[in-house]
């Protein structure tokens, strides 16, 4: 049975052909142990590894603050934090999603209606107003609606 060659790179650019246990070069000793450690399959991820909020919320700010928190605590690997930071910059550069743009336009339209002293015109606008404004503002909008209804009698 033939011994496994050392395989360490030589100055000439080839591989060392001495048998692993008999290689005279000090820099080559222990190389096989290091190689096998480098080639070992990655350890399974533990169930307690932190999961970013982006998977469910799609909120770039939430991901950024989560990443800061995990980095400060030291509960996230630096390589993973670096990858997430790069992805975070990419997501931020993409800008708002098209659906977000439609919502923004609907909000601008609603605010224009309200600025002219008219209450929301339909159920969709009332739903949007409920998301944007507090209870006092909604009560005021309802008052506008009854006032305009009184004038129609």
Tens-digit pLDDT profile for residues 115-128: 999 999 999 999 99
Which residues neighbour 38 within 8 Å (Cβ) at sequence distance 6 or greater? Answer: none
Residue 9 within any structural domain of the chain:
yes
Considering the domain boundaries, does residue 79 fall inside one? yes
Residue 81 included in any domain: yes
Give the tokens for residue 51: 């999961």
pTM score over 0.75 = no
Whether 103 and 145 share a structural domain: yes
Domain that holds residue 22: 1-37
Q: Which two tokens mark 15?
A: 């591989």
**Does residue 49 fall inside a structural domain?**
no
Could you give the number of structural domains in the chain?
3
Nearest to 111 by CA among 103, 145, 136: 103
Tens of pLDDT along 32-52? 544 544 444 445 555 566 666
């Amino acid at each position: 049975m033939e011994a496994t060659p050392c395989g360490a790179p030589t100055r000439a650019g080839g591989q060392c052909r001495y048998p692993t246990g008999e290689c005279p070069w000090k820099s080559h000793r222990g190389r096989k142990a290091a190689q096998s450690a480098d080639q070992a399959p990655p350890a399974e991820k533990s169930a307690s590894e932190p999961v970013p909020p982006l998977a469910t919320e799609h909120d770039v700010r939430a991901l950024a603050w989560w990443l800061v928190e995990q980095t400060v605590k030291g509960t996230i690997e630096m390589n993973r934090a670096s990858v997430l930071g790069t992805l975070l910059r990419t997501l931020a550069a993409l800008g708002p999603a098209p659906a977000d743009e439609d919502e923004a336009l609907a909000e601008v339209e609603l605010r224009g209606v309200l600025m002219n002293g008219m209450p929301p015109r339909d159920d969709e606008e009332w739903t949007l107003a409920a998301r944007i404004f507090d209870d006092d503002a909604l009560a005021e909008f309802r008052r506008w609606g009854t006032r305009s209804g009184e004038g129609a009698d």
